[in-house]
């Protein structure tokens, strides 16, 4: 199982990996997986309302396709890891990444405040 979350809550867990364009300075020990990250340009465009969420999704999915990602290999490497980025809730590329794993038959679960009581989410806190 692969999990998704965000740095503010999950970033200090030892199984957290960063899938954002960059990893925050206050989390220097996080493994960065840039192949699953958007470009800084794409982040800038969505954050400054230069593109819509639908356009972002289209551009990001094309970016993932262009990268020819070895999804099976990466899924094995990310088993029991939390894929983290900055957004707490709502629209975020981690949901698009999660969907790509699901389309290939892998289980992905979003960590929420409601499911934090499950033991698999307490890998360090």
Query: What's the pTM?
Result: 0.89
CB 18 within 8 A of CB 32: yes
* Percent of all residues in the chain with a pLDDT value above 90, rounded to a whole number: 86
pLDDT in tens, the chain (125 residues): 999 999 999 999 999 999 999 999 999 999 999 999 999 999 999 999 999 999 999 999 999 999 999 999 999 999 999 999 999 888 999 999 999 999 999 999 999 877 765 555 445 54
Say how far apart CA 81 and CA 8 lie, in whole Å. Answer: 16
Provide the pLDDT for residue 122: 46
Retrieve residue 68's tokens.
């020819």
For the chain, domain boundaries: 2-121
> What 8-state DSSP symbol labels residue 36?
G
């Amino acid at each position: 199982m692969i999990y998704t979350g965000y740095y503010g809550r999950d970033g200090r867990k030892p199984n957290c990996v960063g899938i954002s364009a960059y990893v925050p300075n206050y989390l220097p020990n996080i493994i960065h997986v840039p192949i699953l990250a958007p470009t800084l340009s794409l982040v800038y465009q969505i954050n400054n309302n230069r593109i819509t969420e639908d356009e972002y999704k289209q551009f990001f999915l094309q970016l993932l396709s262009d990268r020819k990602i070895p999804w099976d290999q990466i899924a094995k490497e990310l088993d029991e890891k939390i894929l983290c980025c900055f957004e707490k809730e709502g629209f975020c590329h981690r949901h698009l990444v999660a969907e790509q794993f699901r389309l290939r038959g892998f289980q992905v679960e979003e960590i929420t405040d409601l499911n934090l009581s499950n033991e698999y989410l307490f890998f360090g806190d």
